[in-house]
Chain A
Amino acid sequence: MSTATYAGTPVEVDDEGFMTDPDQWNEQIAEQIAAENEIDQLTERHWMVINYMRESYLEDGSAPSIRTLGKASGVPIKELYQLFPKGPAKRAAKIAGIPKPRGCI
């Protein structure tokens, strides 16, 4: 656990840079994390996914899977990969300021 500074705000992050307290998050922080993860501009479509991820995590306590995102975020899975290349579930979670999707071990 360490502290990182995003958009001038110090926040708690884990070893991989995922925020550990979703309440410390704001939109400027999201933009900076995105820029550091090869996403130059957050579009309206990106925000649909990010906002859905936060709502889902705050409601259920777990990060949504790719399939849940594809079914419920309003953005189809193919497009998720265009918006958040490589691993949308993980990368969007990082930008949304929630822990990464994990198994039980």
Chain B
Amino acid sequence: MSKKIVIIGAGTGGTLTANRLRRMYDRDAAEIVVIDSDDDHLYQPGLLFVPFDLAQPKDIVRSRSEQLNDGIEFRLAEVDRVEFEDNTVYLADGSSIGYDVLVVASGVSLLTDETEGLTGPGWGEKAFDFYTLDGAVALRDALSKFDSGRLVVNTIDMPIKCPVAPLEFCFLADWYFQERGIRSEVEITYVTPLDAAFTKPVAAEHLAGMFEEKEISLEAEFATGRVDAEAGRLISWDEREIPFDLLAAIPLHGGSEFVARSPGLGDDLGFVPTDPNTLQSEAAPNVFAIGDATNLPTSKAGSATHFEGDTLTDNIGRFLDGEKLEGSYDGHVNCFIETGFHKALLIDFNYEVEPLPGRYPSKAGPLPLLRESRLNHLAKLAFQPFYWHALLPGRDMPGVGAQMSMAGKQPVTSEKGDNG
């Protein structure tokens, strides 16, 4: 009998999952439905480049439905809630879709309103985000008119998508103002709730000095309680103040809104408690989750989502066949970190192994780990076509395994991972 697999979210995780499953199952063996509330698939790594006029909005958005293979039904709809008792997704328009297997791939929502004052007077004039396309475009326009003063980049609290993006933003800002010949007129400050810019011991050792070299100031252990955007002040819960003339804020993140409306699905922040190795949710055995929507203790990043794809689709197959699931996802993440001036760092890690120095993908590999290089930057730029043409279609990438490999890494005795 034909099975029905429903996927909520047509971003990175939902799209690659649907395409892989479509290849796994003949059409009469499984019906696959993907639900999303709009048809704009955003290449999220591109958002970092928009404020610096290094990427144009039209170059990083494509149709969601066009990324889905033939034989996958795309439903443009808002999800109201999921009920596990009757295995049904209820839509906001009153209709419903039953499922045999549900995949939650709905990513995160930005809780910009949850920080007092952030979206008050001054929002869109002095204070911006760059995690939305509108925000990144507005910030580009503000940056282009910014000739002097204090630029503050603030991660309001963890977890956030792409935890290195705020650092990359600082590095690119340093480059951008040097290009414009006004770097000495601009102070750049990174404000973080963590106790350092680099918090993993080996990375901290290897990258110590980067902030000083680039003359970026650091305000650590600053938990933003409220923002006075009009006056240009961040105020922490313990009443420290940081002044700014221009703020690039990374707002609080939570899960998708329907998660909170679905009894038993999410945690206090709306993320889906998920087995870190099998990707089965704790909510119900026939509910799985992938990517940013989960509570997995690895980075919220497209790379993690990509590597989860293998495990997820294999385990959906096992579940439908009545077999035991395999816990094959290891927390693997691989990401390029722009450092400005056409260079980038590369890090590769998992739940247990923190970012280490060495070469990637093997000892003779071309890309240096934890070290700035031009080739890493070129690889980052070259990744976008791979994203559309290999990653989303669910094809394997040559030389890049879903599980992390120690080949090429210089091992260092490490404490157990606690990856944000």
Contacts and interface: CB of A to CB of B under 8 A. Distances in A.
B238 interface: yes
A10 interface: no
Given A15-B201, A105-B203, A62 B416 contact: no
A62 B221 contact: no
Interface residues of B, number: 45
A45 to B, nearest CB: 16
Interface stretch (B7-15, B74-82, B156-164, B285-293): B156-164
Interface in B151-173: 157-159, 163-164, 167
B193 A104 contact: no
B415 A99 contact: yes
Contact-size category for A: 20 to 34
A95 to B, nearest CB: 15
Interface string B190-234: 001111001111010001000000000000010101000000000
The dominant DSSP class at the B interface is loop
Interface in A21-59: 59
B333 interface: yes
Contact of B415 (A1, A63, A71, A85): A1
B135 to A, nearest CB: 20
Contacts of A78: 237
B360 interface: no
A105 B199 contact: yes
Contacts of A61: 276, 296-297, 351, 418
A81 B223 CA distance: 10
A90 B195 contact: yes
B199 A103 contact: yes
A60 to B, nearest CB: 6
Contacts of B225: 77
Contacts of A60: 273, 295, 297
B158 A65 contact: yes
Interface string A62-83: 1101111001100001101100
B307 interface: no
Contacts of A103: 158, 163-164, 192, 194, 198-200, 420
Contacts of A81: 237-238
B95 interface: no
Contacts of A71: 268-269
Nearest to B166: A103
B337 A77 contact: no
Nearest to B300: A104
Given A65-B159, A66-B193, A105-B164, A86 B221 contact: yes
A74 B273 CA distance: 20
Nearest to B282: A59
9 contacts: A14-B201, A61-B351, A63-B418, A86-B221, A87-B195, A102-B199, A102-B420, A104-B349, A105-B200
Interface of B: 157-159, 163-164, 167, 192-195, 198-201, 203, 207, 221, 223, 225, 237-238, 252, 267-269, 273, 276, 295-299, 301, 333, 337, 347, 349, 351, 355, 413, 415-416, 418-420
* A-B residue pairs, 5 tightest by C-beta: A61-B297, A62-B297, A102-B199, A104-B299, A72-B268
